[in-house]
């Protein structure tokens, strides 16, 4: 729960920094937060395959949907800031976010945001390449 609160506060800071055109600082803060999530994992967050990304949020055989949703929100912000500079990193962040959102939607006990359909639709438009979404759909089935 503390992680979710921390990430929610961080998201507010990221949005503020983005609005003040401090994108590099915002991206660095996102990377620091993601690094904390994978400190026990041999790979950095952005190096994780999609299945590894999903598995990162499974604890005691339960999917930690609220934590995954908070991370997905950060990934979307990062993807938007990187979209014009580093397309491949932006695409990977969008893919990870989309997968986390969709997996949370499948969790009957998760409190998903009311605008999750809007968020996933936006990401689908960014990931218009069919292969980018096909791998996620395959993992979710």
Closest residue by Cα to residue 37 from 54, 62, 14, 16: 54
Question: For 93-108, how does the pLDDT look when each residue is reduced to its tens digit (9 = 90+)?
Answer: 999 999 999 999 988 8
Question: For 11-32, how does the pLDDT look when each residue is reduced to its tens digit (9 = 90+)?
Answer: 999 999 999 999 999 999 999 9
Whether the per-residue pLDDT at 33 is higher than 70: the answer is: yes
Q: What is the mean pLDDT of the chain?
A: 90
Percent of the chain with pLDDT over 70: 98
Per the structure, the complete domain to which residue 11 belongs is given by: 2-140
Instruction: Read off the pLDDT of each residue in 57-82 and give the average, rounded to a whole number.
Output: 94
Whether the per-residue pLDDT at 130 is higher than 70: the answer is: no
Distances (CA, A) of 61 to 56, 64, 76: 11, 9, 26
Whether the per-residue pLDDT at 134 is higher than 90: the answer is: no
Whether the per-residue pLDDT at 45 is higher than 80: the answer is: yes
- Distance between CA atoms of residues 133 and 82, nearest Å: 19
User: Which pTM value belongs to this model?
Assistant: 0.90
Instruction: Read off the pLDDT of each residue in 25-52 and give the average, rounded to a whole number.
Output: 93
**What stretch of H or E contains 63?**
strand 62-63
Q: In sequence order, what are the residues at sequence separation of 6 or more whose Cβ sits closer than 8 angstroms to the Cβ of residue 49? A: none
Number of domains in the chain: 1
76 vs 133: which has the higher pLDDT: 76
Q: 38 — phi, psi (to 5°)?
A: -110, 20
């Amino acid at each position: 729960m503390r992680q979710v609160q921390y990430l929610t506060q961080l998201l507010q800071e990221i949005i503020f920094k983005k609005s003040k055109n401090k994108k590099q600082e915002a991206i660095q803060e996102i990377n620091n937060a993601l690094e904390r999530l994978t400190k026990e994992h041999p790979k950095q967050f952005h190096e994780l395959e999609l299945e590894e990304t999903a598995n990162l949020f499974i604890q005691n055989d339960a999917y930690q949907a609220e934590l995954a949703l908070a991370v997905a929100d950060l990934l979307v912000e990062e993807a938007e800031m990187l979209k014009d500079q580093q397309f491949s990193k932006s695409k990977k962040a969008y893919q990870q976010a989309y997968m986390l959102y969709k997996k949370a939607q499948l969790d009957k006990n998760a409190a998903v945001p009311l605008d999750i359909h809007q968020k996933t639709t936006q990401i689908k438009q960014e990931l218009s390449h069919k292969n980018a979404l096909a791998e996620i759909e395959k993992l979710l089935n």
